[in-house]
Amino acid sequence: DPCLNVLNDIGSRTGRMYKPPPPSTRRKNIEFEPLSTTALILEDRPANLPAKSVEEALRHRQEYDEMVAEAKKREIKEAHKRKKIMRERFKQEENIASAMVIWVNEILPNWEGMRATRRVRELWWQGLPPSVRGKVWSLAVGNELNITPELYEIFLSRAKERWKSFSETTSENDIEDAGASVADREASLELIKLDISRTFPSLYIFQKGGPYHDLLHSVLGAYTCYRPDVGYVQGMSFIAAVLILNLEEADAFIAFANLLNKPCQLAFFRVDHSMMLKYFAAFEVFFEENLPKLFLHFKSYSLTPDIYLIDWIFTLYSKSLPLDLACRVWDVFCRDGEEFLFRTGLGILRLYEDILLQMDFIHIAQFLTKLPEDITSEKLFSCIAAIQMQNSNKKWAQVFASLMKDNKEGDKNHSPALKS
């Protein structure tokens, strides 16, 4: 036994030779296997160790009783927590069911007459039932472009022809450089392949072999042929994916094309620097109005809105927030338009204001680029509701309009990231 040799070696130097315990004692030691940490408290010590004193045994018994009591408290607390969660979930499901009946039987059949009423707006704010979400989004976004399912099929066919052409002439290694090397924006068809695999990767439904992979590929490909002046821009895949989860293929394309044709989305996806700067300037007006301390803190680090807002706006928060929460943001965005995108941004900053005030430039940028995953809809929407979109009696549209009239591009409004 190597251990015995070491002990004897030490004993030879100290004058004390190690004597192993009798066989019966050693066997007892081997059989002593505590089942848990509590057993270490209650069990008597092995025979080769000094026995516990009465005081120590009593203290251990008291500690054990306290541990058991604490464990019971935790168990009761967890049980109450689970019951509360179940009650809230049941209540939420009941609310969704009752709201669905109202949407299906009252609101949707009378859409034009009821959509702007106070009652509908309040119900809308609470979140749309998943079963009617796609329909309401389609109606709210509208179809100013007058796209038909037949038109979608035409552009999808064109996209498939170009895919075939690219597969015959372009190697896999050329894909990464396709967007930069080919002037024609339709060449960005191949770039779509790269982004689809990065779209909601945790869901595993848009990746190659997943049930929605080809569908997402089709919608994005058709759009790049429909709008070659815009082409495919990173971030579009998330928007298309959310629509596909809530609408049929052709309807998803129609909503997608009309959504990206809105002034704010068009400015961002066409990378119109001048327009983007005006949106950032308008955002900062309400940032300073609502969160003056945080605004000054950001200013002290020259932390401009483009650092965090671009990603939020590009994907309509679908990449930054949990999917169910992003859908609720979309609900109200479809109701209120672009203003709500910036109001949501201010809501996020308000929610994490105390944390952000303790951070420097790098940590703020990292935090806002990857928001906490435990963000809840109740907390976020409570913060969004507290944001006042009014400055000197001017609302968002008026502030933005005044910025549009102002031809002077103040240096303070220029974003370093956009200048480069």
Into how many domains does the chain fold?
A: 3
In this structure, are 276 and 391 located in the same domain?
Answer: yes
351 lies in some domain: yes
Would you say residue 178 lies in a domain? Answer: yes
Strands 390-391 and 394-395: antiparallel
If asked whether residues 82 and 196 sit together in one domain, one would say no
> Which residue from 261, 217, 262 is spatially nearest to 240, judged by alpha carbons?
217
Locate all alpha helices (DSSP H) within 103-212, ordered by sequence: 111-114, 118-125, 130-141, 149-169, 178-181, 189-196
In a domain, 30, yes or no: no
40 Cα distance to chain centroid: 45
Last residue in a domain, options 212, 237, 261: 261
Given this model, what pLDDT does residue 96 score? Answer: 83
Q: Does any domain span residue 7?
A: no
276 and 404 co-located in one domain: yes
Read off φ and ψ for residue 138, nearest 5 degrees.
Answer: -60, -45
Please identify, among 242, 261, 280, the residue that sits at the C-terminal boundary of a domain. 261
Asked if 82 and 163 sit in the same domain, the reply is no
Given 78, 95, 126, the domain boundary residue is 126
Give me 246's structure tokens. Answer: 């809530």
Q: What is the pTM of this model?
A: 0.75
CB 271 within 8 A of CB 380: no
pLDDT tens across 265-277, in order?
999 999 999 999 9
Angle at 233 between CA 163 and CA 333, to 5 degrees: 125
- Clarify whether residues 374 and 327 are in a common domain: yes
| Residue 21: predicted pLDDT | 55
pLDDT at 220: 96
**DSSP-derived secondary structure letter, 136:** H
What per-residue confidence (pLDDT) applies to 28? 47
Low-confidence ranges of the chain (pLDDT < 70): 1-45, 166-190, 407-420
Under DSSP, is residue 394 helix (H, G, I), strand (E, B) or coil? Answer: strand
Residue 131 lies in a domain: no
- Rounded distance, CA 420 to CA 126, Å? 41
Residues 213 and 275 in one domain: no
Domain that holds residue 410: 265-419
Residue partners of 41: CB distance under 8 A and separation at least 6: 60, 61, 63, 64, 67
pLDDT at 1: 58
Whether residues 251 and 353 share a domain: the answer is no
pLDDT at site 237? 95
- 80 assigned to some structural domain: yes
pLDDT at 13: 52
Instruction: Give the three-class secondary structure for 390.
Output: strand
Does one domain contain both 251 and 274? no
User: CA–CA distance from 396 to each of 6, 215, 220, 305 (Å)?
Assistant: 81, 37, 31, 17
Residues 272 and 365 in one domain: yes
Q: Is 167 in the same domain as 117?
A: no
One domain for residues 162 and 110: no
Q: What is the CATH number of the domain that holds 236?
A: 1.10.8.270
Check residue 356 and give its pLDDT.
Answer: 97
- For residues 271 and 382, membership in a common domain is answered with yes
